[in-house]
Amino acid sequence: MSQYVSRLGRRSPAAPSRLRIPGTHRRPRRVAMLSVHTSPLHQPGTGDAGGMNVYIVELAKRLAAINIEVEIFTRATTGALPPSVQLAPGVLVRHVDAGPYEGLAKEELPAQLCAFTHGVMQAWAGHRPGYYDLVHSHYWLSGHVGWLAAERWGVPLVHAMHTMAKVKNAALAEGDTPEPAARVIGETQIVRAADRLIANTSEEADELVRHYEADAGKVAVVHPGVNLDRFRPADGRAAARHRLGLPQDALIPLFAGRIQPLKAPDVLLRAVAVLLDERPALRSNIVVPIVGGPSGSGLAKPEGLQKLAARLGIADVVRFQPPVGQDQLADWFRAASVLVMPSYSESFGLVAIEAQAAGTPVLAASVGGLPVAVRDETTGFLVSGHEPAHYARVLRDFADHPQLVDRMGQAAARHAQSFGWDTAASATADVYTAAMHDFRGSHRHVRSHHG
């Protein structure tokens, strides 16, 4: 029998999913996805909601489209929420009661993991055995719940870090708070427990091996996607500027994201101040939109950025906008001359791909996944470090050569086409299939030894 299994184990992944012969490659029918600290129903750019929310929603929808049902477990943040919400055909969001609904910071959530796990187990108890084929957890808090759930249900655990404490702590913004030791320990445990780890880029895969001693054979690289129907050049820059009440011929460097030291919106403001010192005449022809809300350690000083703009003497050209829905965000991208991402750490930088898909070049720090997202000197520019003068120099190039915006924008839109969510979902499904195959093999091996 073992010979038969090992021979079948080498069959191609295209083996028909109807076959249940031990050793064939079968896709999961239903996946339990865990997102403890941020709901896929929340508005990205508010609180702790950001790229990970977008990632989970889009991935779940595309997996459902290829017949993998997804149930997303997330923490209930208001008492008015129904126990479950149908997000899309084949995608169910389950709200779990764990701790007080409001006013609970991400740092306080480890104390609620037991309550959250209890809620997940209660939902599972109402189903027949084998209801979930696999657990896919997002971020380390979910990983701890996933670890226990996968063990209890006898299924593989696939985990996506999204960000890592050791990587963030190695590139902290000045005055920012380091990630706690408890998170580092927690992440190390999950890396050991997971059957597969999904990394956004090969650099993130290397970091998992280097910082957390991950087994390289368990790490799979899957680039996140972008919703190419929503983020596209559409009717162009001029029309988007008209809709948003922005001047047609201005230089518009845009920041879009959560306002916190990690994302470094202050670097953009300081760069604009340097630029206007050098080119005072530009003041009448520049608008700097900051689209997003305070988050994380940025909540300690929610007005900090406005005060900085005033101190730098550029408050007249900076326009603060609260977080907007995805469709309006696409319009802000189209309207901008360039998206500026001076982040200290970025596991991928989904916003960079979204802006490029909308036809806008990107000026970004050369960190994390941004060198994958942005093709330097073709779809935008990568800058080493966070020196405002270096960003000012690139902004000056865009001011002096307006044709750069259109030329790079067209290249950016072409580049983004290779980052569709269908590709990401298909690659993720392959990771699931491999995890299930290896999991069944290892458990058969254990049983035969104890037989």
Q: Are residues 69 and 218 in the same domain?
A: yes
Binding site, residues? 37, 43-44, 48-53, 106, 139, 163, 183, 258, 263, 324, 333-334, 336, 346, 354, 360
Is 138 inside a domain boundary? Answer: yes
Is 243 inside a domain boundary? Answer: yes
Binding site for 1D-myo-inositol 3-phosphate, residues? 37, 48-53, 106, 139, 163, 183
Give the pairing of strands 288-291 and 318-321.
parallel
Q: Are residues 367 and 428 in the same domain?
A: no
Is 328 inside a domain boundary? Answer: yes
- In degrees and rounded to multiples of 5, residue 328 shows phi and psi of -75, -30
Q: Are residues 348 and 381 in the same domain?
A: yes
Q: Are residues 165 and 210 in the same domain?
A: yes
Cβ(374)–Cβ(362) below 8 Å: yes
Give the pairing of strands 30-35 and 196-199.
unpaired
Q: Are residues 131 and 174 in the same domain?
A: yes
Binding site for Mg(2+), residues? 333-334, 336, 360
Q: Are residues 245 and 204 in the same domain?
A: no
Q: Check which CATH number belongs to the domain holding 102 and give it.
A: 3.40.50.2000
Is 451 inside a domain boundary? Answer: no
Q: Are residues 176 and 244 in the same domain?
A: no
What is the pLDDT at residue 271?
98
What is the pLDDT at residue 12?
34
Tokens of 31: 């996946």
What is the pLDDT at residue 298?
64
189 burial (CB, 10 Å; 0-12 / 13-18 / 19+) is middle
What is the pLDDT at residue 286?
98
What is the pLDDT at residue 44?
57
What is the pLDDT at residue 49?
59
Average pLDDT per 10 consecutive residues for the chain, totaling 451 residues: 32 35 72 91 61 89 97 91 94 93 82 94 92 97 97 97 90 87 96 97 94 97 93 96 97 92 94 98 97 73 88 97 91 98 87 96 94 96 97 98 97 95 95 96 57 49
The number of distinct structural domains making up the chain is: 2
Is 24 inside a domain boundary? Answer: no
Q: Are residues 283 and 404 in the same domain?
A: yes
Q: Are residues 325 and 217 in the same domain?
A: no
Three-state secondary structure along the chain? CHHHHHHHCCCCCCCCCCCCCCCCCCCCCEEEEEECCCCCCCCCCCCCCCHHHHHHHHHHHHHHHCCCEEEEEEECCCCCCCCEEEEECCEEEEEECCCCCCCCCHHHHHHHHHHHHHHHHHHHHCCCCCCCCEEEEEHHHHHHHHHHHHHHHCCCEEEECCCCHHHHHHCCCCCCCCCCHHHHHHHHHHHHHCCEEEECCHHHHHHHHHHHCCCHHHEEECCCCECCCCCCCCCCHHHHHHHHCCCCCCECEEEECCECHHHCHHHHHHHHHHHHHHCHHHHHHECEEEECCECHHHHHCCCHHHHHHHHCCCCCCEEEECCCCHHHHHHHHHHCCEEEECCCCCCCCHHHHHHHHCCCCEEEECCCCHHHHCCECCCEEEECCCCHHHHHHHHHHHHHCCHHHHHHHHHHHHHHHHHEHHHHHHHHHHHHHHHHHHHHHHHHHHHHHHC
Binding site for UDP-N-acetyl-alpha-D-glucosamine, residues? 43-44, 51, 258, 263, 324, 346, 354
Is 12 inside a domain boundary? Answer: no
What is the pLDDT at residue 101?
82
Q: Give me the domain span that covers residue 382.
A: 237-417
Is 130 inside a domain boundary? Answer: yes
What is the pLDDT at residue 32?
98
What is the pLDDT at residue 205?
96
Q: Are residues 127 and 198 in the same domain?
A: yes
Is 445 inside a domain boundary? Answer: no
